[in-house]
Structure 1
């Protein structure tokens, strides 16, 4: 099956090469190296970033380590689906716009079709579910917790480059667990960027030395001038690219080892500004209509709500869930039971978690328009704003990435964003246990067996190279084993 598919890709690329050699090669590379990811990438954004790093940095060398860290920071700092933006960005850099768009559909459509099929099936279910089904779903959730925790640890190992980034990862995780709001996560990441700028340029150290010398009177004016020159020299040797030790150097940007054949096929910063401005205008028009129209069609209301969610959500899939509940369940379009049932199953699907909006869109339009139209509306509404904004940002990023302050800020954003992944572990843990008693979801800690399931998936991936799909299946099986023991 795989060989036949690759043969079809090769023939298709040859036909494109007759029309445009560069476009044909780009499409061929995109199809060849991306077609299977949408079927095999389980575990959510944190795991996806690990998979992409192994494929596109370590194996294929499409981007280098420094560039991947910068893209990771941008994906986390901007609204929309984080891992989807990453695969889109890597293919955009490698093959251009059409390659990026193709990779987006290859990545997102398999899970979207699965979510649509799930919604059609759920719409025909009875009001009550067998206890065995709840045990299966709880096992899937517990296994997913272990997988995300492992990905968080592995990403932390790459994000931590010194004591400051280690502190930012820790503080990001703690702060994210203590509070949750739409504005909160982007503020935490912005503070991380500010912290690394202050640290790398040694502004706080300089200010402290100046205050100390003034108060203590230990230095003469000439000595202070000499020290300032010494500090200035130290600033030029600060390493922004993130090594544990700081090496000496000049005031040039940090060195990047970019593959020799790598070409940044992105846009100019002017085009990027045009794209961002156009999206902002469309957002204003859509939100104005959303607030002024009385009794609008269900399809328009659904698209407007999901477009708003996709525009203001930072942090990827785990963060969008509470907002989708507010915009869909609170409107009375989807029942709380169907919401939680779909959430538990969709988290076990490959691809982006944002495909959950396809499931919700299908159920939300039942009786008002075709289910397929609802699925398409949900897909476009949740994905379009984040992808369009990221497309414009790529042009601006290309112009800014050689400035030291920008790469320094991204280092802090990256560390804070990795810390927030631990927040996703905590949120899923607190709502992963489903049963006839806890149909709205409860903490997995109520039953020690779910901790065993989560630990099994973590240890299996950490030390035995257990693939994420196998770990999730094992979690479901262990859930059914628990049900059998409890009922016996």
Structure 2
């Protein structure tokens, strides 16, 4: 794969296209990939079907936000590293700004109306996460071994709690996968993705060096280093992307007391109503940590750090993807890891999502309605947000 030098025209075109996608791409990671295919394979023919499928396979294999990584890779192909950065910024900006503005205004939502609105967003989180667990369990735990891995991960995450339980579950899942899972044969690509290897090793070195940030934070590196370490660690551990970020972020920001569980769950519900990548939930959390300008700076820092590991890994691994995809050991590891994250997400559905949102029998009815509309009627998440928030507000005002 050739990565051309960026020109102003290329960069401007990439920015316009990805900004429009960032504004209009509702529906989560799977829907984002559909928008990307329509924009870059069908309409503009920047990639062939096999090229696009290979990019999707690689980004689903690596930790990080799969749809954002695909967009980053398309920008890399079109305009080199500057093109990749422009594509990521444009796709991420709309939802990040929207969530920061919501965080800034959420504290002003007092009274019965504001509390009912926030409660409706918590009910949305219950429905959306339950839907995610249901869908991921069917795809990632199709056999007894992987179902058992998910169950063990669920128990570990609930019993140990926090980052220790989640990291232990991921490591145990990877180990069992390596031991017991069966690799799936993969056909060789007709058009291998072999970009320049110039940045491959430096990107992997930076990825590994930044994993040492928690050590710096623990040795008195200050609040900013602690925030960088927390969000970078989450981005480096999120296998499966999307909603899997929820339990890792909850352990990273609620346990230290940076935000309350109520603020966390409310923001997660709001994140379902905006387009673009779900990882921009990090921008909301950064803004919620501090008022005013400091909140905006923390939002920008949190957003960059949570996306950074996945992008560094993509740059580092892309030239070696053909060899890696044929490795039976790598396939077993990723199968076990993916099964473990299903259990971790199921644990997060119970604590903190369910415990924070469900306070009355009617809440169960509304959450079940949202789950049914997502699962059976295939409603987009933003429509469920509107319905449940409106119902919660109506019930709150009448009650």
TM-score using structure 1 length: 0.64
In the TM superposition, 1:34-433 aligns within 5 A as 34-53=18-37, 55-56=39-40, 62-63=46-47, 68=52, 70-126=54-110, 130-141=114-125, 144-145=128-129, 148=132, 152=136, 156=139, 177-180=154-157, 181-185=166-170, 188=173, 240-241=185-186, 254-258=187-191, 264=193, 266-268=195-197, 271-284=199-212, 286-293=213-220, 297-366=222-291, 370-397=294-321, 401=322, 405-406=326-327, 426=346, 429-430=349-350
Q: Check 1:298–1:418 CA distance in 2 against 1; reply closer, same or farther (3 A cut).
A: closer
Query: 1:219 — aligned with what?
Result: none
* Structure 2: distance between partners of 1:174 and 1:290: 33
Displacement of 1:106 in angstroms is 1.3
Query: 1:459 — aligned with what?
Result: 376
SS at match of 2:248: helix
**CA offsets, 1:346-366, max 9 Å, x none?**
233222222222222223234
Q: Check 1:382–1:458 CA distance in 2 against 1; reply closer, same or farther (3 A cut).
A: same
* Structure 2: distance between partners of 1:442 and 1:30: 43
Displacement of 1:110 in angstroms is 0.9
SS at match of 1:42: coil
Displacement of 1:105 in angstroms is 0.7
Consecutive unaligned residues in structure 2, runs of 5 or more: 158-165
Consecutive unaligned residues in structure 1, runs of 5 or more: 1-19, 201-239, 242-253
Q: Check 1:383–1:481 CA distance in 2 against 1; reply closer, same or farther (3 A cut).
A: same
**CA offsets, 1:150-176, max 9 Å, x none?**
9759x94xx99xxxx777776676565
TM-score using structure 2 length: 0.75
Worse-matched range after superposition: 345-354 or 38-47: 38-47
Displacement of 1:276 in angstroms is 0.9
Contact 1:38 1:111 in 2 (8 A): yes
Query: Are 1:441 and 2:365 matched, yes or no?
Result: no
* Structure 1: distance between partners of 2:360 and 2:154: 16
Q: Check 1:425–1:328 CA distance in 2 against 1; reply closer, same or farther (3 A cut).
A: closer
Contact 2:123 2:388 in 1 (8 A): yes
* Structure 1: distance between partners of 2:146 and 2:55: 18
Number of positions where the alignment pairs a residue of Structure 1 with one of Structure 2: 387
